[in-house]
């Protein structure tokens, strides 16, 4: 998580001066409030609403499993978990605003956990059968690593998960149900916060000198552009290269996110899908000069290709890495994200900053 924040800070520090540098031609003038408004209504709100819907279904599936343990109900809970992971992977690219309040981001997903601190806490809780951890309200006050998707993945797929299909270990299911309830609460809170007419969405979409967060359109649009740049870096350098080594003998499959549930590439595809949906919804490409409009189409095509490439790698990630053809697809995915980083982080921002800028996006 710290590495992700560092990456974001580094990239924004590089991008901000560019975005404030010059002036877009009048022919390409676009109001910041329009761009941000489309991003919020066309992507952010629907994405977090979808996450909330999946989280509600996940919580119900966990309660059904606990009330009537069976192999069928266990598979239903696992399916609901995978659906929630996919919905979260789309929405999580908006890693600012309401999701950052009250440690919601870390509580939803504590990752990476390279020293297995969170894993040990979950394992210790299961071993000790701490009754307070089966109450969502009390669980919400505990370590962030114990109350999100990573914890629930271990409950559903980790050592001893098969006991969920029977009645011999009710504690594991009760803890899992509390975690799913916490995920549902967080998702609902974030959805509601984005829907408020006087909340964060209003601040982002209405920059101005009296706005405590965004003093002008440059700052508001910089936040949006930062999503594209930072998320591509995160997807490639943290999520993918965290387990894909420079050589096969340097691969670390157990460092892959969601490796237990086989949702690693589902998550990568969801991340790129989110970036693509946000880019299309905001219509940021419309602000490009006429002779640079090709960039917007190219960005969309490459994002779609990256998503399809990730989805084509299925099954356990360790077996995918051991298969030369599938491993090549993961390396191709890395190349696509690198190409996108250049296209968006260098070429598009050059159009908006070095030779143009975002001043006409200020809504004045």
* Residue-range domain boundaries for the chain: 2-30+207-361, 44-195
Domain spanning 44-195, CATH class: mainly alpha
Q: How far is CA 294 from the centre of its chain?
A: 27
- Summarised one tens digit per residue, pLDDT across range 150-167 is 999 999 999 999 999 999
- Summarised one tens digit per residue, pLDDT across range 200-238 is 999 999 999 999 999 998 889 889 999 999 999 999 999
- Summarised one tens digit per residue, pLDDT across range 237-285 is 999 999 999 999 999 999 999 999 999 999 999 999 999 999 999 999 9
Q: What is the pLDDT of residue 349?
A: 86
**What is the spatial distance between Cα 206 and Cα 36, in angstroms, rounded to a whole number?**
9
Sorted by sequence, the CB contacts under 8 Å of residue 194 that are 6+ apart come out as 40, 44, 45, 48, 97, 98, 200, 201
Q: Output the pTM of the full model.
A: 0.90
If one counts every other C-beta atom within 10 angstroms of the C-beta of residue 337, the result is 27
Q: What is the pLDDT of residue 130?
A: 95
Q: What is the pLDDT of residue 352?
A: 78
Sign for the CA dihedral angle at 288, 357, 273, 263 comes to positive
Q: What is the band of 114 on the pLDDT scale with cuts at 50, 70, 90?
A: confident
Token pair recorded at residue 31: 């109001």
CA-angle at 100, arms to 360 and 134, nearest 5°: 155
Query: Helices 45-67 and 170-195: crossing angle, nearest 10°?
Result: 160
Sign for the CA dihedral angle at 18, 237, 270, 65 comes to negative
Q: What is the pLDDT of residue 30?
A: 61
């Amino acid at each position: 998580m710290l590495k992700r924040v560092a990456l974001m800070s580094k990239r924004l520090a590089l991008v901000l001066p560019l975005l404030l540098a010059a002036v877009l031609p009048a022919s390409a003038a676009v109001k910041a409030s329009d761009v941000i408004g489309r991003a919020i209504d066309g992507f952010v709100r629907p994405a977090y609403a979808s996450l909330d819907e999946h989280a509600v279904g996940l919580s119900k599936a966990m309660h059904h499993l606990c009330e009537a343990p069976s192999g069928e109900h266990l598979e239903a809970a696992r399916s609901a978990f995978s659906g929630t992971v996919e919905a979260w992977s789309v929405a999580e690219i908006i890693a600012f605003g309401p999701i950052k309040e009250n440690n919601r981001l870390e509580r939803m997903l504590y990752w990476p956990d390279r020293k297995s601190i969170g894993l040990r806490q979950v394992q210790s809780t299961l071993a000790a059968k701490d009754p307070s951890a089966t109450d969502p309200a009390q669980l919400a006050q505990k370590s962030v690593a114990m109350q999100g998707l990573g914890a629930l993945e271990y409950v559903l797929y980790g050592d001893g998960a098969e006991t969920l299909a029977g009645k011999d270990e009710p504690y594991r299911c009760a803890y899992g149900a509390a975690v799913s309830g916490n995920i549902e609460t967080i998702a609902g809170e974030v959805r509601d916060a984005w829907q408020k007419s006087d909340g964060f969405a209003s601040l982002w979409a209405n920059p101005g000198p009296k706005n405590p967060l965004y003093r002008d359109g440059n700052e508001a649009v910089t936040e949006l552009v930062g999503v594209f740049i930072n998320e591509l870096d995160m997807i490639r350098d943290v999520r993918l290269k965290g387990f894909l080594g420079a050589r096969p003998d340097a691969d670390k499959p157990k460092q892959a996110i969601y490796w237990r549930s086989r949702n690693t590439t589902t998550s990568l595809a969801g991340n790129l899908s989110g970036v693509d949906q946000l880019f299309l919804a905001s219509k940021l490409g419309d602000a490009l000069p006429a002779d640079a409009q090709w960039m917007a189409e190219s960005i969309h095509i490459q994002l779609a290709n990256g998503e399809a490439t990730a989805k084509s790698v299925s099954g356990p990630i360790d077996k995918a890495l051991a298969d030369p053809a599938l491993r090549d697809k993961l390396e191709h995915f890395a190349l696509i994200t690198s190409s996108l980083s250049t296209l968006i982080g260098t070429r598009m921002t050059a159009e908006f900053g070095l030779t143009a800028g975002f001043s006409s996006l200020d809504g004045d």
